[in-house]
């Protein structure tokens, strides 16, 4: 009996070790998002936006449900019973690829949202003006790109958004559209409330991949392997405009998605959007 118990303990230990090894292997794969929390709820404290892809071709599970986010006018998914894609780009700075991305969008008549920071507007004003002139949304990614989840005061939160909005107004002569994306996906429940109070729609994402390391870009095939099987109805896609790979593949990627039956929609078409 003692030997049997010992064997059971050894077996349990081996299984535990294998589980730890498997977890470490997953962590080293460089997945683009954190695992979704099991509770699918947003804690009042700081958190990171995370996704769990469970079935190919279907929307992932977020660490907050769309029902929960809707309390604060926030989204990570669009219309889930229609073959529609909402294209979004995070723009921290100009790396020489944004105009090529704009060319591909124009070729496909595809609207997009570009979430920009202060540096992008300051250093590439002509590109910002082109985005606006060609009908794209220019969204608020804050002025300095800080961890907004650490900001609890409404005044401090508002300064980050207002500074960017004022710079955009000065640069384009237009009001900045009221769409907000938290830098790095870091947020808190209080942030969701603050953005809503300021009239912003918070936009997370339901599909992304590791495209932001400029000195370690994925190959086109690696990008397709992530972006094609995981596309789903109502996807809010996050890409980075600093990515050479994204600039090179975007025309063909959009064609592939079109061949799969998808169309491209503006964030202004999000279901139930409260346009103020």
Active-site residues, by number, are: 90, 240
Instruction: Report how far residue 218's alpha carbon sits from residue 115's, in angstroms, rounded to the nearest whole number.
Output: 22
Task: Identify the DSSP state of 76.
Answer: S
Asked if 136 and 267 count as a contact pair (C-beta separation under 8 A), the reply is no
Q: Chain centroid to CA 106: how far?
A: 22
DSSP bridge pairs for 246: none
Rg (C-alpha) for the chain, rounded Å, is 20
Nearest to 141 by CA among 126, 169, 112, 120: 120
* Backbone CA torsion sign across 211, 214, 216, 221: positive
Alpha-carbon distances of 32 from 35, 97, 136, 205, rounded to whole Å:
10, 21, 25, 11
């Amino acid at each position: 009996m003692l030997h049997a118990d010992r064997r059971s303990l050894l077996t349990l230990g081996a299984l535990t070790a294998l589980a730890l090894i498997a977890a470490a292997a997953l962590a080293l794969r460089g997945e683009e998002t954190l695992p979704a929390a099991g509770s699918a709820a947003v804690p009042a404290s700081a958190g990171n936006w995370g996704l769990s892809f469970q079935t190919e071709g279907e929307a992932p599970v977020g660490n907050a449900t769309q029902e929960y986010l809707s309390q604060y006018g926030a989204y990570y998914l669009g219309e889930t019973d229609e073959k529609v894609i909402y294209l979004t780009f995070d723009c921290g700075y100009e790396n020489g690829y944004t105009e090529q991305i704009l060319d591909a969008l124009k070729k496909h008549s595809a609207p997009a949202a570009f979430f920009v920071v202060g540096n992008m507007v300051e250093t590439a004003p002509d590109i910002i003006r082109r985005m606006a002139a060609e009908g794209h949304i220019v969204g608020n990614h804050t002025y300095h790109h800080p961890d907004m989840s650490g900001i609890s005061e409404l005044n401090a939160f508002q300064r980050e958004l207002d500074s960017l909005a004022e710079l955009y107004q000065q640069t384009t002569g237009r009001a900045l559209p009221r769409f907000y994306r938290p830098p790095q996906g870091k947020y808190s429940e209080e942030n969701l409330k603050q953005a809503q109070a300021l009239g912003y729609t918070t936009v997370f994402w339901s599909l992304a991949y590791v495209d932001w390391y400029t000195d370690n870009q994925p190959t086109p095939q690696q990008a397709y392997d992530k972006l094609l099987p995981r596309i789903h109805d109502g996807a809010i896609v996050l890409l980075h405009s600093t990515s050479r790979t994204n600039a090179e593949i975007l025309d063909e990627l959009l064609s592939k998605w079109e061949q799969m039956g998808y169309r491209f929609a503006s964030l202004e078409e999000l279901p139930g959007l409260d346009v103020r």
